[in-house]
């Protein structure tokens, strides 16, 4: 251990510690430093600086050794991460390789991770929708999990707060199930998406096809320019890191903003082993870090600690933070730590064709990806044989006919002749899953990772509700596609492992009752209130909206609370 003299301890003491620099950790860093607190941000991976550390961002396809294809050896060595849609030759350096960070799959689980400054915020699909009270009231109404200790009204101002800074493009659609936000102009629907949207509106009550809302600067405001970010240039190469800062990531936005205050210390290569709980003081006093390179253990101290390590790693850290007071993991009086893990069901999609709108095509590329169908099942009341529902992506595109028939001049002519093809239509399912005690993570008793930390055992699976919901998605979308006159409708269901949705949530859930939950309505551990968890681990239920925007809002709200508690001397 490093010098334990008083100066050294002083050097390692901060006003706040944030574990993780991803989408929620970045927000914690920005908020704490913005409120004048000296903040330490611990990142287990390497540092990735905006612009400087995006090695592939300006490369043309031919500048990649394999023109974008991941070599077979890398694919074979990384069966898990290789299943992620964004794991290509252009972005594979931002993904955790399977062998480097082992975990135990009691049941198949594709744990997709990005260990670097910014975490997965560099790589995300940037879809950002607010939750509504249909989501926050879901568990109480439908009798699963526990009641959320908050409602939409608690979080709405914080949605507005983070949306303004992050920059969210979208249309004010006026839907109760998908509240409007502080939007930059939307990326509009194209001809066939618009046609389908009108068709659905006319023929189906309470079903809508809207422009996908996403964290792209369609038209930046001053606050975005102040961050050094510019207008989205519709490259749709986001996973490489954006040279324009056109989409929101910790790297382009919150982390540099925090660093600019001079109050933020970002320490990469810092694997958090545990949170230190002082039995005498009755609170957490700091964190124990293993330097990823030297494997040296170092302790850092602060009166308030934010856990933003990404859902499952936040579980791991708390499970591994054992003390006399908390032998089963920090704050785990309820015994619920690591349990009630849930995710999003992405295991179905559809394709079809549309023989119309021939006079239209698109020009350029759509960073929003197309349209979005908010949940329409069981919204106002229970009406199917499964609980909850699903959202769906909806996109139409007009491809080109390019034949690779023949050889010689004939082949060259075929390849150079680009004719507009017909319209293709696609959709994918995003289903809410029900958190259950039987879906859990624990620490392995003997297996350790290369830093001497117990490996996480993951035991998460689909259930009958997911199967029924998947069937319904296929049926409903098929009917909607058919009635819209789409042809050659193809439905696909797969048996992908949970995790590939990259929306794993829960394990440190919020709740009103300390006996059945881990966190209170401010995201504090009931039993150790100077530790906050504001990432996916805190989720009581999953909704079917993409979760990242909600993590951002939760985090900003929780920091505001933590700082006011500090000022009151309550922490």
The least CB distance from residue 221 to another protein, in Å, is 19
The least CB distance from residue 472 to another protein, in Å, is 30
The rounded distance, in Å, linking the Cα atoms of 398 and 427 is: 15
The rounded distance, in Å, linking the Cα atoms of 164 and 181 is: 9
Cβ proximity to another protein, 51 vs 70, nearer residue: 70
The least CB distance from residue 293 to another protein, in Å, is 29
- Residue from the set 2, 77, 176, 420 that interacts with another protein by CB under 8 A: 420
Site map for another protein, 248-287, x if CB under 8 A? Answer: ----------------------------------------
H-helix or E-strand spanning residue 260? helix 255-260
Q: Give the footprint of another protein on residues 104-163 (CB under 8 A).
A: none
Which range binds another protein by CB under 8 A, 268-276, 413-421, 492-500, 553-561?
A: 413-421
Helix (H, G, I), strand (E, B) or coil at 203: helix
Question: First CA to last CA across the chain, in angstroms?
Answer: 28
Site size toward another protein, by CB under 8 A: 51
Contact between 165 and another protein by CB under 8 A: the answer reads no
The least CB distance from residue 170 to another protein, in Å, is 14
The torsion angles phi and psi of 380, rounded to 5 degrees, stand at -90, -30
Strand order in the sheet with 297-301: 270-278, 283-291, 297-301
Helix (H, G, I), strand (E, B) or coil at 36: coil
H-helix or E-strand spanning residue 339? strand 339-342
Cβ proximity to another protein, 328 vs 362, nearer residue: 362
The least CB distance from residue 407 to another protein, in Å, is 5
Cβ proximity to another protein, 179 vs 243, nearer residue: 243
The rounded distance, in Å, linking the Cα atoms of 336 and 440 is: 9
- Residue from the set 174, 262, 327, 408 that interacts with another protein by CB under 8 A: 408
- Residue from the set 172, 412, 515, 567 that interacts with another protein by CB under 8 A: 412
- Residue from the set 295, 418, 448, 515 that interacts with another protein by CB under 8 A: 418
Cβ proximity to another protein, 225 vs 411, nearer residue: 411
Contact 350, 481 (CB under 8 A): yes
Rg (Cα) of the chain, in Å, rounded?
Answer: 24
Packed helices 152-166 and 548-567: angle between N→C axes, nearest 10 degrees: 100
The least CB distance from residue 395 to another protein, in Å, is 11
Q: How many CB atoms lie within 10 A of CB 538?
A: 28
Which range binds another protein by CB under 8 A, 8-16, 399-407, 434-442, 557-565?
A: 399-407
Query: Residue 100 burial (CB < 10 Å; 0-12/13-18/19+)?
Result: exposed
Q: Quickly list DSSP for 426-457.
A: EEEEEEE----TTSEEEEEEEEE-TTSPEEEE
Site map for another protein, 338-377, x if CB under 8 A? Answer: --------------------xxxxxxxxxx----------
- Residue from the set 2, 11, 36, 58 that interacts with another protein by CB under 8 A: 58
Contact 495, 416 (CB under 8 A): no
Contact between 567 and another protein by CB under 8 A: the answer reads no
Cβ proximity to another protein, 31 vs 90, nearer residue: 90
The rounded distance, in Å, linking the Cα atoms of 395 and 382 is: 28
Cβ proximity to another protein, 204 vs 244, nearer residue: 244
* Residues contacting residue 565 through CB under 8 Å, at least 6 positions apart: 304, 529, 571
Which range binds another protein by CB under 8 A, 21-29, 56-64, 93-101, 377-385?
A: 56-64
Which range binds another protein by CB under 8 A, 141-149, 407-415, 516-524, 550-558?
A: 407-415
Cβ proximity to another protein, 143 vs 364, nearer residue: 364
Cβ proximity to another protein, 58 vs 385, nearer residue: 58
Cβ proximity to another protein, 189 vs 505, nearer residue: 189
The rounded distance, in Å, linking the Cα atoms of 440 and 340 is: 6
**What's the angle, vertex CA 555, arms to CA 549 and CA 561, rounded to 5?**
140
Smallest Cα–Cα separation from 476: which of 144, 180, 206, 127? 206
Cβ proximity to another protein, 411 vs 447, nearer residue: 411
Query: Residue 230 burial (CB < 10 Å; 0-12/13-18/19+)?
Result: middle
Q: Exposure pattern of 8-25 as b/e (b: 16+ CB <10 Å)?
A: eeeebbbbbbbbbbbbbb
Q: Give the footprint of another protein on residues 59-78 (CB under 8 A).
A: 60-62, 65-73, 76
* Residues contacting residue 567 through CB under 8 Å, at least 6 positions apart: none
Cβ proximity to another protein, 293 vs 404, nearer residue: 404
Cβ proximity to another protein, 109 vs 187, nearer residue: 187
In sequence order, the β-bridge partners of residue 307 are 19, 533
The torsion angles phi and psi of 558, rounded to 5 degrees, stand at -70, -35
Contact between 188 and another protein by CB under 8 A: the answer reads yes
The least CB distance from residue 62 to another protein, in Å, is 5
Contact between 399 and another protein by CB under 8 A: the answer reads no
Which range binds another protein by CB under 8 A, 10-18, 77-85, 401-409, 482-490?
A: 401-409
The least CB distance from residue 182 to another protein, in Å, is 21
The least CB distance from residue 169 to another protein, in Å, is 11
Contact between 409 and another protein by CB under 8 A: the answer reads yes
Which range binds another protein by CB under 8 A, 184-192, 309-317, 330-338, 377-385?
A: 184-192
Q: Give the footprint of another protein on residues 200-239 (CB under 8 A).
A: 233-235, 237
Contact 269, 276 (CB under 8 A): no
Q: How many CB atoms lie within 10 A of CB 204?
A: 15
In total, the chain counts a number of residues equal to 571
The rounded distance, in Å, linking the Cα atoms of 29 and 32 is: 5
- Residues within the interface to another protein (CB under 8 A): 58, 60-62, 65-73, 76, 187-191, 193-194, 233-235, 237, 358-367, 398, 400, 402, 404-409, 411-412, 415-416, 418-420
């Amino acid at each position: 251990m490093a010098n334990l003299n008083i100066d050294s301890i002083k050097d390692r003491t901060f006003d706040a510690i944030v574990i993780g620099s991803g989408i929620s950790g970045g927000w914690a860093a920005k908020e704490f430093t913005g409120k004048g607190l000296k903040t330490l941000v611990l990142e287990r991976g390497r540092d990735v600086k905006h612009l400087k550390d995006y090695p592939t961002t300006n490369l043309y396809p031919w500048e990649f050794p394999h023109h974008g294809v991941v070599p077979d050896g890398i694919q074979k060595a990384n069966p898990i991460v290789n299943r992620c849609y964004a794991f290509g030759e252009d972005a594979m350096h931002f993904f955790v390789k399977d062998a480097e960070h082992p975990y135990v799959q009691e049941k198949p689980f594709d744990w997709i991770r990005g260990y670097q400054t910014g975490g997965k915020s560099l790589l995300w699909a940037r879809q950002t929708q607010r939750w509504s009270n249909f989501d926050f009231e879901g568990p109480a109404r439908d009798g699963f999990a526990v009641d959320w200790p908050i409602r939409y009204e608690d979080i709405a101002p914080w949605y507005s707060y983070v949306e303004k800074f992050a920059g969210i493009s979208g249309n004010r659609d006026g839907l109760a199930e998908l509240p409007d936000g502080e939007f930059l102009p939307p990326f509009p629907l194209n001809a066939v998406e618009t046609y389908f949207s009108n068709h659905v509106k006319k023929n189906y009550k309470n079903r809508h096809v809207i422009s996908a809302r996403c964290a792209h600067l369609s038209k930046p405001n001053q606050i975005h320019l102040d961050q050094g970010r510019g207008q989205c240039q519709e490259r749709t190469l986001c996973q490489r890191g954006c040279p324009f800062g056109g989409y929101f990531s910790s790297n382009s936005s919150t982390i540099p903003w925090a660093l600019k205050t001079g109050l933020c210390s970002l320490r990469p290569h810092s694997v958090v082993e545990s949170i230190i709980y002082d039995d005498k003081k009755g609170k957490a006093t700091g964190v124990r870090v293993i330097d990823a390179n030297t494997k040296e253990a170092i302790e850092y101290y602060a009166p308030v600690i934010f856990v933003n390590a990404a859902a499952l790693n936040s579980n791991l850290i708390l499970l591994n933070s054992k003390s006399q007071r908390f032998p089963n993991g920090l704050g785990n009086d309820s015994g619920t730590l690591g349990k009630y893990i849930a995710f999003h069901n992405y295991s179905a999609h559809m394709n079809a064709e549309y023989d119309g709108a021939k006079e239209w095509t698109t020009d350029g590329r759509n960073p929003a990806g197309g349209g979005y169908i908010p949940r329409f099942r069981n919204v106002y009341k229970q009406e199917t044989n499964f609980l909850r529902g699903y959202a769906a992506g909806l996109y139409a595109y007009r491809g080109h006919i390019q034949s690779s028939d023949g050889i010689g001049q004939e082949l060259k002519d075929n390849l150079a002749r680009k004719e507009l093809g017909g319209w293709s239509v696609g959709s994918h399912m995003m289903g809410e899953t029900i958190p259950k005690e039987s879906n859990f993570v624990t620490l392995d008793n003997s297996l350790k990772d290369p830093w001497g930390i117990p490996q996480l055992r993951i035991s998460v699976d689909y259930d009958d509700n997911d199967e029924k919901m998947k069937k319904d998605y296929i049926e409903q979308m098929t009917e909607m596609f058919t009635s819209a006159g789409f042809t050659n409708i193809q439905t696909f269901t797969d048996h992908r492992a949970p995790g590939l949705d990259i929306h794993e949530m829960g394990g440190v859930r919020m709740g009103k009752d300390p006996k059945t939950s881990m966190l209170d309505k401010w995201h504090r551990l009931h039993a150790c209130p100077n530790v906050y968890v504001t990432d996916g681990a805190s989720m009581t239920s999953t909704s079917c909206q993409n979760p990242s925007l909600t993590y951002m809002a939760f985090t900003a709200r929780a920091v505001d609370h933590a700082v006011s508690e500090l000022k009151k001397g309550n922490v």
